C-alpha cells in the first residue's frame, strides 16, 4: 500500500479526515505538525515565537531525515506550508498519493476561529495564504472540496478514488 499525504490549508480537514481514513485503510496515521512538536519538544506557536517561520520551515524540511515513511504505507497530514518546499514535495511523491483537501476562506475561518495553534492565522490573511499556496497544491493527484462534506463523506470519496488506482 502506498502512503497517502493529505495537503491543504489549515482548517481544510487534513487531520480529521486522515484519522478516519487511516482506520478504514488499517494504516497508521501521522500528523507532521505533531511529529515536529514531539521531536523538538515545542508547540508550533512556540517554535514560531522562539525561532521564527524560516526556522520552522527548515525543521519541516528536515523531517524526511528522521521520519522515514513506513514500508506498508501510512496516512499523513501535512502542515499547510509543508508542500511548498521542493524537497518536501519530492519526499511526498515517493510511493505516495498526494491528496489536496480544499476549503473556501469562509469555511476555514469558521473551522479555525477558536484554535490557538495557528501561528500564521494572525500574520497573514487566509485568502493571501491560499493564493500563495494553490499553485503547489494544484499538483496533487486528487483534489477534494471539503466545504459541504462531512469528514466521513470526504474519507469515502478518497477511498473510492483509491479503489480505482
The confidence score (pLDDT) of residue 114 equals 60
Q: pLDDT-based confidence at 11, cuts 50/70/90? A: confident
User: What is the value of pTM for the model shown?
Assistant: 0.89
Sign of the C-alpha dihedral computed for residues 37, 18, 90 and 48 taken in this order: negative
User: What local confidence, expressed as pLDDT, does residue 143 receive?
Assistant: 95
**Considering only CA atoms, which of 144, 138, 137 is closest in space to residue 158?**
144
Rounded-to-5 percentages of helix, strand, coil across the chain: 50, 15, 35
Q: Which three cell numbers stand for residue 100?
A: 489536496
**CA 80/CA 164 separation, integer angstroms:** 27
Q: What is the pLDDT of residue 130?
A: 82
- List the domain range (segments joined by +) for residue 24: 3-163
pLDDT band per the 50, 70, 90 thresholds, residue 117: low
Which distant-in-sequence residues (6+ apart) come within 8 Å of 125 by Cβ? none
Specify the length of the chain in residues.
165
User: How many domains, in total, are found in the chain?
Assistant: 1
Whichever domain contains 25, its CATH number is: 3.40.50.300
Amino acid at each position: 500500500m502506498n502512503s497517502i499525504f493529505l495537503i491543504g490549508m489549515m482548517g481544510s480537514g487534513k487531520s480529521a479526515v486522515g484519522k478516519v481514513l487511516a482506520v478504514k485503510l488499517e494504516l497508521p496515521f501521522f500528523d507532521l505538525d505533531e511529529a515536529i512538536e514531539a521531536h523538538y519538544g515545542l508547540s508550533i506557536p512556540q517554535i514560531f515565537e522562539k525561532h521564527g517561520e524560516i526556522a520552522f520551515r527548515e525543521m519541516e524540511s528536515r523531517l524526511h531525515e528522521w521520519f522515514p515513511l513506513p514500508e506498508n504505507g501510512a496516512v499523513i497530514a501535512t502542515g499547510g506550508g509543508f508542500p511548498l518546499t521542493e524537497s518536501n514535495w519530492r519526499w511526498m511523491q515517493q510511493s505516495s498519493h498526494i491528496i489536496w483537501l480544499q476549503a473556501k476562506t469562509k469555511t476555514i475561518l469558521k473551522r479555525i476561529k477558536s484554535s490557538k495553534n495557528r501561528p500564521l492565522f494572525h500574520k497573514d490573511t487566509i485568502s493571501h495564504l491560499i493564493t500563495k499556496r494553490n499553485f503547489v497544491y494544484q499538483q496533487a493527484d486528487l483534489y477534494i472540496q471539503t466545504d459541504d462534506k462531512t469528514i466521513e463523506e470526504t474519507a469515502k470519496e478518497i477511498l473510492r478514488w483509491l479503489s480505482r488506482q
